[in-house]
Amino acid sequence: MAKITLVDDDENIVASVSLALESHGHTVNACYDGAAGLESLQTSPPDLAILDVKMPRMDGMEVLRRLRQTSDLPVIMLTSKDEEIDEILGFNLGADDYIHKPFSQRLLLERVKAVLRRADVQDEDLAAAGPIEPSAKAMKRGKLTLDPERHDSLWDGKPVRLTVTEFLLLQSLAQRPGFVKSRDNLMDAAYDDQVYVDDRTIDSHIKRMRKKFRQVDPTFDAIETLYGVGYRYRES
């Protein structure tokens, strides 16, 4: 089971969500404002973070922005705002999923299970082992190396920090270089059936992923857009 940090200023939501998660074997660390949540996430990283968007001292978007500077920890965002712009901003910042308040405990548990499944949470001993050689399952495509067992992504030998969703999207593209993947294909690769996302979500993840690779190599152009069709990975 997973260690989960829940950050929300609503005590009733914290109590009910914590109870639901703990009843399924998870360990929950609760924080009641963004600043305390960020400190906890940085000093004692969990397997998953659940962040409310609207909070005192520091909102969930700012927590996510700062967290993504150093961590690819899976993150689910909670919001009471039914505004599309919040979702787009959250996905641009690197959120792995979004849940609108009010939500059922069943929905939350399914989303948590889906994100943890995608993350494939590693054993603590493996996480503490430090840099090691790529596993036998590592995939190499030109300058790109993807190791699904360790969630490692390298470009020309340099590490690129990817979120769980970004890693799965890139892995899907790189499996068949030169072949076009539609947005629907990529959604199927990165999300479980019960999670609905639209085209703009995939576009946001691709945009953010390109930016990360260009920080390592400004000439990076391996992910091509075919307008109206989808994306493909170019190996050469």
CA dist 22 and 94 (Å) reads: 26
Q: In 10 A of CB 86, how many CB atoms?
A: 19
- Walk me through the domains of the chain, giving residue ranges and CATH numbers: 3-121 (3.40.50.2300), 139-233 (1.10.10.10)
Q: Are strands 75-79 and 223-226 parallel, antiparallel or unpaired?
A: unpaired
- CA angle (132 as vertex; 129, 138 as ends), nearest 5: 120
Does residue 158 contact residue 152 with C-beta atoms inside 8 Å?
no
Q: Name the residue among 145, 233, 221 with its Cα closest to residue 189.
A: 233
pLDDT at 101: 84
Q: How far is CA 2 from the centre of its chain?
A: 16
The pLDDT mean for the chain works out to: 84
Least confident range from 78-87, 139-148, 176-185: namely: 78-87
Q: At what angle do helices 60-67 and 84-93 cross, to 10 degrees?
A: 20
Q: Residue 82's pLDDT band (boundaries 50, 70, 90)? A: low
pLDDT at 123: 37
Q: For 171-220, write each residue's pLDDT tens digit.
A: 999 999 999 999 888 888 877 655 555 667 788 889 889 988 998 999 99
The counts of H helices and E strands in the chain are 9, 11
CA separation, residue 225 to residues 1, 167, 183, 216 (Å): 38, 18, 11, 20
pTM: 0.64
